[in-house]
Structure 1
């Protein structure tokens, strides 16, 4: 038997708002809203479904799982994400491989790396 990744889910206090932000950033579409408690994105630059689940109290502390995203032009994409409301956590790597750690509007960290 083989497991297949079907969806990545992010806990949030406002599933509709955070899903909308990620839809704008990835070009994905909201395909399910479920009364705002569980929102699903599909398409765009997403290889699997990305969902946002409304919770009363998100897990405190650093993410144990995060998204690693690729960009054709790392610097331009990071500038775009920062202008859209992301927060810069840190620029990492060296000339051989660079990536930038950001946080979405609710503090969920993710990485963007140069994708050739």
Structure 2
């Protein structure tokens, strides 16, 4: 059996603003809004993201998160914080550096230096 990852979906009590925020940060665009219930975002590298309406999100740390890379991680972190992200911590895994942040609705994600993965 062969499977293909179609998209990464995030639950949200207010998915429209979150979809717009991620589209802006990744240079993508919202390609469907499905009556405000389910937003699809196309990002330039071909990956699809979706944001779907739920009545309540699960409390605590999300078990699945996005790992992003950047040639200038500190500048990208500053840009994301200015756009509404929250910086949680800089991390060092024995010379492997990354930063953990949260999007405006509290979903954690990480940014590592290019070539770190």
| TM-score bracket relative to the smaller structure | over 0.9
Match of 1:74 in 2: 73
Match of 2:85 in 1: 86
Using the alignment, how far apart are the partners of 2:53 and 2:93 within structure 1? 37
TM-score by length of 1: 0.94
| Unpaired runs of at least 5, structure 2 | none
Using the alignment, how far apart are the partners of 1:60 and 1:47 within structure 2? 30
Q: Tell me by how many angstroms 1:43 deviates.
A: 2.6
Q: Tell me by how many angstroms 1:21 deviates.
A: 0.4
Q: Tell me by how many angstroms 1:95 deviates.
A: 6.8
TM-score by length of 2: 0.93
| Unpaired runs of at least 5, structure 1 | none
Aligned alpha-carbon RMSD (Å): 1.2
Q: Secondary structure at the match of 1:69?
A: strand
Structure 1 runs (4+) greater than 3 angstroms displaced: none
